[in-house]
């Protein structure tokens, strides 16, 4: 019976969960770098497009990836002209701004270490250019965007006990 029990040494330690709050974000656009300290949340994800593959001798079809698309949402406290200026530049001058978005996650308590992700070729889909709320607390903006590439120059370490 004792051999069926999982020992604490075979599980992740609570301290190794990386805090979602301990992050930094930067935007690089038009040759300038900005610290995005008004960021509230970010989600960047990649959706794969797959095609079904019929395979002779099998009743189950296979699936093959044929392309991928990057998209994301950035929620900020509305206290910077940075993203408004990108929209105005498109409307006024016909120049669409592409930018890179760098995110660093590092929790000093966790043995996972530090992770840096750079979403490259970001381009705004939509952003709020004017808003108010008489019942609200503060101004916020949710910016949806696409991105064309991803770099991970530093990644989390494998935690002790993960490799078997």
Assess whether pLDDT exceeds 60 at residue 1. Answer: no
pLDDT digits (tens, 9 = 90+) for 37-79: 999 999 999 999 999 999 999 999 999 999 999 999 999 999 9
Task: Kindly state whether residue 164 falls inside one of the protein's structural domains.
Answer: no
Number of domains in the chain: 1
**pLDDT value at position 56?**
98
pTM of the predicted structure, to 2 decimals:
0.88
Instruction: Give the Cβ contact number of residue 73 at 10 Å.
Output: 14
**Domain housing 108:** 15-43+72-154
Task: Kindly state whether residue 79 falls inside one of the protein's structural domains.
Answer: yes
**pLDDT value at position 9?**
63
Torsion from C-alpha of 68, 147, 73, 99, nearest 10 degrees: 170
Measured distance CA(114)–CA(50) in Å, rounded: 32
Task: Kindly state whether residue 76 falls inside one of the protein's structural domains.
Answer: yes
């Amino acid at each position: 019976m004792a051999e069926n029990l999982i020992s604490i040494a075979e599980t992740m330690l609570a301290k190794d969960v990386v805090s979602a709050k301990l992050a930094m974000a930067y935007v690089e656009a038009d040759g300038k770098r900005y610290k995005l300290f008004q960021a509230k949340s970010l989600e960047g994800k990649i959706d794969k497009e797959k095609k079904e593959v019929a395979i002779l001798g099998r009743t189950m079809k296979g699936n093959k990836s044929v392309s991928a698309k990057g998209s994301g949402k950035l929620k900020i406290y509305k206290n910077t002209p940075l993203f408004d200026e990108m929209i105005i530049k498109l409307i006024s001058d016909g120049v669409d701004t592409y930018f890179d978005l760098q995110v660093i996650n590092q929790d000093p308590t966790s043995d996972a270490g530090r992770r840096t992700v750079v979403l490259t070729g970001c381009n705004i889909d939509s952003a709020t250019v004017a808003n108010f709320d008489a019942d609200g607390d503060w101004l916020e903006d949710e910016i949806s965007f696409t991105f064309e590439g991803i770099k991970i120059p530093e990644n989390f370490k494998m935690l002790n006990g993960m490799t078997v």
